[in-house]
Structure 1
Amino acid sequence: MSPLLASTPHHDTLRRTANTAMDESRTEEYTYIVIGGGIAGVTCAEHLYILHPEAQTLVLTASALIKAVTNVLSLTKTLDSFEVEEHHPDILQSKCPSVRVLQDAVDHLDAKNQLVFTSSGRCFSYQQLCLCTGATPKLLSEGPHVLWLRDTESVLQFQSRIKDARRIMIVGNGGIATEMVYEVTDVEVVWAMKDKHMSAHFIDPGAAAFFHPEVVKEKVECPAPSKRRKYTIDHSKVSRNSVVGGALGPDWLAGLELKGKTERHIIMEHEVEVRKILEPEQVRELQATVTHLSSEEGNSFSLGEDGGLLIDEKMETTEKNVYAAGDVCSHGWPAAPHWFQMRLWTQARQMGSYAAKCLWSAQVGEETYLDFCFELFSHATKFFGQKVILLGLFNGQGLDGKYEILLRYTQGVEYIKCVMVEGRMQGAVLIGETDMEETFENLILNQMDLSVYGEDLLNPDVDIEDYFD
């Protein structure tokens, strides 16, 4: 666990507070400081440079590598597809000359005096600060045969360990678990999930049935040449419990070979949880939990119901000039009818970009308004090699079961689901190359009454794009 995420000892906090005046004499000054080198933090820094290139920005990261969003393709007004690559910090610094990246762990934040202290003994002052520290895995227990997946380094550890494995257990039902089950070969997999169907965070039982044949069949390898530059870090300098990188991006499996020592076989165990481990080997649950700084003496952060740092519609925490973006925060404003927070790389990028605008506007005295991306939940990803688009209340979130479903389903080709309330579309799931995301986004946002179309809304012989685009 990073020093930023751990509770600072009480005596150390008092010592730092008492010595603030002494530290100020050797304080390095920056207009903006961003803590975190993941998707939210790097996006925030890049957009600060675009908005305020003459200002000095510092990015503090515990990792030797940072995450960068590349190959962005706009699909709709609120939805982008993109890739995430690991870069050396000097690439960001060359692209954004007023941005400096420093590999150092944060030891203490003194929000009252606007100072950041690092584990190497350095002190930095800021005018605006953005916390983008992300989340850490929620632990069940520890053991020599247990791995958790969060960043690239943990994935590489898993890759090296699976080579000698005949049977593994994957605990969790989110996106990483789903992709891992699909990618591993030559090994028996027990997939333990607490839900009634796989990937329940993203899809309904019908979509799970659509994907089921892809889970059990042997994966056909069709490797494509990689044109990306790969970076490595010195493993000898990284301890097992260190935070070594930002969260995995949408294409984290690219170029990895995950093979065991036997035939591939998938066993799915539904509605189960790890309660007790009888062997020395133990299990870690692949579920994220928010980490925060609330326990540090002298700071008074308010928390959301899910434990994240509570932020207002300007992304500011309850500490003045301290902002937050990405997995570490919880939104504190009344959400739009078709938006909700879900800790995904899509929202990390959106929040990082909007947080930069908020920091800049506070610094220069400009007014800013809540970004349009918060009008509609939207997420693009891939499961089992298929394109997946999630829009609005795609699983009927917050509707208390009072909705109807329109469904178009062709096994192995496409799965289209519309969530309808009184003839108006509230959400949608699009699996496959449907090319309907922009149309459905418009229908959710404008809340047009579609009752007259009935089930013909999804009739493949009716080109609804001509009506609603």
Structure 2
Amino acid sequence: MATASQSEVQFRFVVAGGGIAGVTCAQQLASQFPSLDIVLLTAAPMVKTVSNFRQVSKTLEDFEVEEQPSSVLEEKYPNLKVIQSAVTVLHAKQHTLLTENGQVFHYEKLCVCTGARPKLIIQDNPHVLGIRDTDSAQEFQKRLSSAKRIVVVGNGGIALELVYEVEGCEVIWAVKDKAIGNAFIDAGAAQFIIPSLEAEKPKKALPCKRTRYTTDKDTAPNTGSEGPGSALGPDWHESISLRGAEQVSHRVHVEYECEIEKVYSQQEFMQSPLYTQKTNLGVWPIYAQLSNGKTYGCDFIVSATGVVPNTEPFLHGNNFDLAEDHGLKVDEHMQTSEPDVYAAGDVCTAGWEPSAFWQQMRLWTQARQMGWYAARSMAADILGEAIELDFCFELFSHITKFFNYKVVLLGKFNAQGLGQDHELLVRCTKGLEYVKVVLRGGRMMGAILIGETDLEETFENLILNQMDLSPYGQELLNPNIDIEDYFD
């Protein structure tokens, strides 16, 4: 590292963002170039790291996400310097970054991994919370402890986990679709798992054994407008208590095919025509009027309606190609349109022609893969080596848990982009398993596996090798046939 002055420093590699993508990228670079100083800029005092990584199959990965102080990273990688200061300005042509603490960083290669922020239904309302990072999850826990009723808006992964985990509080769940979990599962799978919302939840055998760290620096709760925190991990709710003020264990009411039309404060509601028409709604801090005509009072609203890539500090004065979702568009080497600027994770959008079985879904698994691959690409460019698109982008694969069921998603699991040109095979055993296969022209394009099916590796192979399954017909999912024996 060459120092220009006290406030100006120069690095071969700079990574911006302390989430899974940024940390993975920085770790890979630090490992590959042990004699070079690598800098990781993070807005938050803690960074996200991958632990207990397990390669389940060729493309399926399972891991835990830990939040750690940056010193843990620096101890493991002596050439990795973690600086807690958010990026305020990027001058891409000059290859310089300015941070909040006034430092200027000159880079040879930069990777932007600043994630995304919640897309709140209403900005700057103290009774509307977004859950995206650890700070906002802790703020949610604090608010929930005294709540009797909350309204959850959204139908993605965080909403699915939230409504199942919350206890001691009535939950009104507003989803815009005809079924729950639309981003991940189909209507049939939704019908399979929804009885779990009313059933007694299984007791957790052991508490989460992750190490918890505290920091000296107080960080203001991030309710979603602009926040330093990186995305929550796959089991963010494990280490916090999601219990409200009531004695009820689990009470969820779903309102389908609706969105929030208007939000009223207590004072606004009492002055509105709704108050005179429906005086039985009680006295609450906030009221949500739904597009289906119903109105609910509640302690607060949780906005879990997706995310917006966190690109703002990098756009002014630069010439980035942005995708329709406002992510930094990257090519097959994770490079943006600005020279020597790469991007990975939720902040970017894949701009290459994807494989027939892959799609981007802003998930922690893809953040890890993109961060690792971006580092490989940056290194290859420095070393003058050729690099091909990594195999992880051949097949979309994701393993998670919804309503205490193991869920595996493979390929075009919801027939994404296939139009009417596909057929479905479904096998369902109530309370035990749900298996759906997407076929086109007799070849498997995707699958949803819920429960302990043990079919993920077999189905992954069948999608990748595109074997003609027409001769098997319905027998493909015959529970009396061990399908693995067929296709070993």
Whether TM-score is above 0.5 comes out as yes
SS in 1 for 2:66: strand
Q: Deviations over 1:298-337 (max 9, x none)?
A: 3100111221101111110000000000011111111111
* Matching residue of 1:427: 446
Answer yes or no: is the 8 Å Cα contact 2:169–2:251 preserved in 1.
yes
* Matching residue of 1:271: 257
Offset at residue 238 of structure 1 (A): 2.3
CA change 1:368–1:458 in 2 (3 A) is same
* Matching residue of 1:285: 303
5 Å-filtered alignment, 1:50-449, equals 50-141=31-122, 142-233=124-215, 236-238=218-220, 240=222, 243-262=227-246, 263=248, 264-279=250-265, 281=286, 283=301, 285-286=303-304, 287-293=306-312, 296-449=315-468
Q: Deviations over 1:264-292 (max 9, x none)?
A: 32110111111211225375632211231
Alpha-carbon distance in structure 2 between the residues aligned to 1:25 and 1:298: 26
Task: Give unpaired runs (5+ residues) of structure 2.
Answer: 267-285, 287-299
Offset at residue 235 of structure 1 (A): 7.2
Greater shift, 290-299 or 273-282, is seen at: 290-299
The number of equivalent residue pairs is 447
Match of 2:10 among 23, 29, 36: 29
Greater shift, 46-55 or 269-278, is seen at: 46-55
SS in 2 for 1:224: coil
Q: Report the residue type matching 2:254 in the other structure.
A: M
Q: Report the residue type matching 1:78 in the other structure.
A: T
* Matching residue of 2:20: 39
Answer yes or no: is the 8 Å Cα contact 1:132–1:324 preserved in 2.
yes
Alpha-carbon distance in structure 2 between the residues aligned to 1:171 and 1:352: 30
Offset at residue 47 of structure 1 (A): 1.1
Offset at residue 467 of structure 1 (A): 2.4
Alpha-carbon distance in structure 2 between the residues aligned to 1:60 and 1:235: 17
Alpha-carbon distance in structure 1 between the residues aligned to 2:214 and 2:308: 27
Q: Report the residue type matching 1:278 in the other structure.
A: Y
Alpha-carbon distance in structure 1 between the residues aligned to 2:5 and 2:340: 19
Answer yes or no: is the 8 Å Cα contact 1:190–1:269 preserved in 2.
yes
Greater shift, 279-288 or 258-267, is seen at: 279-288
Alpha-carbon distance in structure 2 between the residues aligned to 1:294 and 1:27: 19
Q: Deviations over 1:385-432 (max 9, x none)?
A: 111000000000000132111111111111111001121100000111
Match of 2:30 among 43, 46, 49: 49
Q: Deviations over 1:4-25 (max 9, x none)?
A: xxxxxxxxxxxxxxxxxxx878
Answer yes or no: is the 8 Å Cα contact 2:20–2:48 preserved in 1.
yes
The TM-score, its normalising length taken from structure 2, stands at 0.88
* Matching residue of 1:17: none
Offset at residue 143 of structure 1 (A): 2.1
Q: CA RMSD in A?
A: 1.7
Percent identity of paired positions between Structure 1 and Structure 2: 50
Q: Report the residue type matching 1:217 in the other structure.
A: A
Q: Deviations over 1:249-269 (max 9, x none)?
A: 111111322111222321101
CA change 1:237–1:151 in 2 (3 A) is closer
Answer yes or no: is the 8 Å Cα contact 2:323–2:329 preserved in 1.
yes
